[in-house]
Amino acid sequence: MTKTDKNTDNVQLSDIGSSSPPKTTTAKLQVQRNTRKYIIICVIAVIVIITVVAITVAVLLTKRKTKPIIPIVEVNGNTTWRQHGITVAGENKSGNELSKLNGPRGFDLDDDLTLYIADELNHRVVRWKVNASKGELIAGKDGKGNKANQLESPTDVVIDKQKHSLIICDAGNSRILKVNHHNLAQEPTAILNTSCFSIMIDNNGYIYISETFSGGIKRWKEGQSHPEVIAGGNGPGNDLYHHMFPMYFFVDHNNDSVYVSDAYNNRVMKWLKNATKGIVVVGGYNNTNNLIYQLNVTNGIVVDNSNNIYVADRENSRIMRFTEGSKVGQIVVSGKGVGSMVNQLKNPEDILFDRDGNLYVVDCGNHRVQKFFIDKKR
């Protein structure tokens, strides 16, 4: 659910989950009676069930939105997470072995719990099965540089499910690369030359990027000559028209709006469609030019279906939630200060939720990805 596109496939998905088990149990009882007739009925029933499930799954797969994953479990203002996280990628120290990361930034998660991570200081993108002891090199196999198989300081990655490819923000080369992550023998191709920091994609094939220096969030689709600005883009500043180095953002299609995590203004801005200025929804300044909430560099951002905002508070090394309209945040995880213990983070970057509502955090300063399980007792 990073950089998300809210969708409503949830109900249908949970329906499939509950439709097959009771029928399988019935089938087993029938078999035990051991008469031919029942066996035949049973076999036919199983075939019918398998066909129905297969068709339903196929329909859902073709209908599914591209990015991101929306939890089936409803995440709302009352949801809590276990404070002890587990490390699902990387170790506590940096390195260039495949078991380590070095300054990871943005990431994405596939439905089968595979992470794709922009391993910035190793100039590569790795694929990492959640909990695996090491990752696999997906892009940047020829090291740092600007050739097709090279990257320089990649900052984010997004899975394009419709086109079965991976899109990489190769920030140091100011280009966007497309990689076929199902066939690594194919050379990556540059699809757009543009500076970018984080990246997402919607169901209509629009790619959204943040551009830190101009402070703009832009949108582009293959075939267009250049991206169009949809928020900010007027250079640095701290009024309602400007951003200061916005890195992460979140596109909300329910409301045709973009939430911009305005890093060095320590605030989150919301831009409605076609707006010429933003609305401060979290943090920012009061009329005396003082910061009104103690956020210190806002990073990764997700907005849930109840419009609660989750944001990585980088220099305070914690993840915060702001319920809609609230100026006061709640600590979601890592309230114990900076560190590398299981209940701590060090300079978190990107965040996302999986389908079960578990929270994943790129714990950049600890060179690892942490997973915090959702609390079931609510």
Ligand X SMILES: *[C@@H]1O[C@H](CO)[C@@H](O)[C@H](O)[C@H]1NC(C)=O
**Cα(first)–Cα(last) distance of the chain, in Å?**
21
Nearer to ligand X, 164 or 273 (CB): 273
Nearest of 76, 28, 67 to residue 49 by alpha carbon: 28
User: Least CB distance from residue 44 to ligand X, whole Å?
Assistant: 36
Nearer to ligand X, 30 or 209 (CB): 209
Nearest of 333, 332, 330 to residue 341 by alpha carbon: 333
Nearer to ligand X, 8 or 286 (CB): 286
User: Least CB distance from residue 42 to ligand X, whole Å?
Assistant: 33
Nearest of 213, 222, 219 to residue 231 by alpha carbon: 219
| DSSP helix/strand/coil, 276 | coil
Structure tokens at 161: 């499910």
Nearer to ligand X, 33 or 327 (CB): 327
Q: Report CA 4 to chain centroid distance, whole Å.
A: 7
User: Least CB distance from residue 281 to ligand X, whole Å?
Assistant: 7
Beta-carbon contacts of 48 under 8 Å, excluding residues fewer than 6 positions away, are none
User: Least CB distance from residue 146 to ligand X, whole Å?
Assistant: 8
User: Least CB distance from residue 14 to ligand X, whole Å?
Assistant: 18
User: Least CB distance from residue 45 to ligand X, whole Å?
Assistant: 32
User: Least CB distance from residue 279 to ligand X, whole Å?
Assistant: 6
Structure tokens at 350: 């990107």
Nearer to ligand X, 130 or 282 (CB): 130
Count of CB atoms within 10 A of residue 299's CB? 26
Nearer to ligand X, 157 or 303 (CB): 303
d(CA 165, CA 104): 21
Nearer to ligand X, 30 or 257 (CB): 257
Count of CB atoms within 10 A of residue 273's CB? 10
Structure tokens at 290: 């003082």
Assess contact for 108 and 98: CB atoms under 8 A.
no
Note the residues at the interface with ligand X (CB under 6 A).
76-78, 86-87, 91-92, 113, 130-131, 190-193, 254-255, 257, 270, 272-274, 286-288, 290, 292, 296, 306, 315, 340-342
Nearer to ligand X, 31 or 272 (CB): 272
User: Least CB distance from residue 211 to ligand X, whole Å?
Assistant: 16
Assess contact for 288 and 259: CB atoms under 8 A.
no
Q: Are strands 318-322 and 267-271 parallel, antiparallel or unpaired?
A: unpaired
